[in-house]
Each structure stands twice: as structure tokens, then as C-alpha cells.
């Protein structure tokens, strides 16, 4: 079975979304398990469809050749480990005022900061990859010896692709972490919070919003 998503759906690399959708529907009607089709093939074409219909995933696939598929169980374990690590870090930063701190809010805040950093890095990597891909075929060797610059560019493209794939995993994990956080809330002792604000003369405590601890959580 071909691993190229475009070949899998039988479309050109510049195919528009409606062409991709039509190709998928055609293939799904043939390969759907409920209609006697092959389960493995159906999963493959569905994965291809989901990647190529998502602009960001498609762009990354075009640049790296990777669809970024992972074992769901492995992803779940990684997300839970990341949540546990962040939870412990936020608690350690606020160990003397646990009752007054909105733990979930601070975790969401810090996770958002990490997300912004990785979104910026993803944009940088995509720009760099596009530049290398454009230039790789434009430098020719005059003699028959190996093209040094082509080798340098190819090596760098591999490195950038690997990092881009890692950043994509981090961003995917972050979205899942934020979803889990959104399903939970912290119970904050507001009376104690106001008392702390009055004691320290700190309006952030009096408003029920303890000062945010700034630390960077690394995956």
C-alpha cells in the first residue's frame, strides 16, 4: 500500500479541497467495512483525507512527507505525564498559598504561553523549510563531483522536518491538555484571599487573582 497520501486518494498534489472530498467519498464507498471493504485501507484513506483537508496538517505534510500519526495510547500517556509535571510545578510555586490560588487558571495561563512559543517556532520552521526546498535544486555542480551545497541543504531539510514534526506533536498535546483543564476548576478560598490582600496591601490578592508565577514548562 502506498504511503503517499495524494496517491492514496488518487489526486494531484495541488488538488483543491472539493476534489479531495469527492475522491475520498468515492473510495470510502468502496472500502467501508460495513460494505465489505478492507478495514486497513479504509483507515488509511480516512487518515489521508483528514490530513489533506486540514490546511496546517497538509502544509506540514507537503514540507516533511510525514502525516504525524501516533499511537493514541502513547499520546494519552504523554499528555497525562505533561499535565502531572505542570501540576506539580504550579503547586511548588504556590505551596504557601494553595487555598488562595486558582491552580487550573495558572496551569491554563502557562500552557498558553508555551503554546504561543511553539506556534512562533512552527512558523519559523515552515519558512525555513520553504526556503531550503526552493533553493535545493537551483545550485548545480560545474563538474561531476558531488554537489556539496545540495548535501548541506538536504541535511538541513531533514533536521528542520524532524523539529517541525516534534513541534506539531507538542502543539497537539497542548490542545488536549487545555481541553482536559477546561473540564476542571479550582475551588479558591476567597475570604482567605481577601485577607491575604489586606495583609500584604496587594490589590491582586484582593481581587481574587494571585500574582502569576512565570516559569517555562518544557516538553
Q: Is residue 217 in a domain?
A: no
Same domain, 187 and 79: yes
Q: Is residue 58 in a domain?
A: no
Share of the chain residues as helix, strand and coil, in percent rounded to the nearest 5: 70, 0, 30
Same domain, 22 and 114: no
Q: Is residue 116 in a domain?
A: yes
pTM (whole model) above 0.95: no
Same domain, 47 and 85: no
pLDDT of residue 1: 47
Domain that holds residue 20: 5-53
How many domains is the chain partitioned into structurally?
2
Same domain, 24 and 87: no
pLDDT band at 192 (very low <50, low <70, confident <90, very high): very low
115-144 per-position pLDDT tens digit:
999 999 989 998 988 888 887 777 777 777
Same domain, 43 and 9: yes
Same domain, 132 and 171: yes
d(CA 182, CA 135): 44
52-109 per-position pLDDT tens digit:
988 878 887 887 777 666 666 677 888 899 999 999 988 888 888 878 788 899 999 9
Q: Determine how many CB atoms are found less than 10 A away from the CB of residue 186.
A: 13
The mean per-residue pLDDT over the stretch 184-206 comes to 51
Rg (CA), the chain: 24
Question: In this structure, what CATH number is given to the domain that contains residue 39?
Answer: 1.10.287.110
Same domain, 11 and 104: no
Amino acid at each position: 500500500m502506498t504511503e503517499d497520501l495524494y496517491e492514496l486518494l488518487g489526486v494531484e498534489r495541488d488538488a483543491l479541497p472539493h476534489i479531495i472530498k469527492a475522491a475520498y467519498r468515492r473510495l470510502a464507498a468502496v472500502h467501508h467495512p460495513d460494505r465489505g471493504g478492507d478495514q486497513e485501507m479504509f483507515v488509511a484513506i480516512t487518515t489521508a483525507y483528514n490530513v489533506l483537508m486540514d490546511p496546517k496538517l497538509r502544509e506540514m505534510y507537503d514540507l516533511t512527507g510525514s502525516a504525524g500519526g501516533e499511537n493514541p495510547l502513547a499520546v494519552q500517556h504523554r499528555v497525562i505525564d505533561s499535565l502531572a509535571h505542570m501540576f506539580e510545578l504550579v503547586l511548588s510555586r504556590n505551596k504557601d498559598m494553595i487555598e488562595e490560588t486558582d491552580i487550573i487558571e495558572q496551569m491554563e495561563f502557562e500552557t498558553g504561553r508555551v503554546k504561543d512559543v511553539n506556534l512562533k517556532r512552527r512558523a519559523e520552521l515552515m519558512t525555513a523549510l520553504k526556503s531550503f526546498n526552493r533553493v535545493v535544486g537551483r545550485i548545480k555542480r560545474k563538474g561531476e563531483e558531488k554537489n556539496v551545497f545540495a548535501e548541506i541543504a538536504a541535511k538541513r531539510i531533514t533536521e528542520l522536518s524532524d523539529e517541525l514534526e516534534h513541534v506539531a506533536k507538542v502543539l497537539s498535546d497542548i490542545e488536549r491538555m487545555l481541553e482536559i483543564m477546561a473540564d476542571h476548576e479550582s475551588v479558591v478560598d476567597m475570604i482567605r484571599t481577601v485577607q491575604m490582600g489586606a495583609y500584604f496591601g496587594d490589590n491582586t490578592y484582593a481581587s481574587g487573582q494571585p500574582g502569576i508565577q512565570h516559569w517555562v514548562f518544557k516538553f
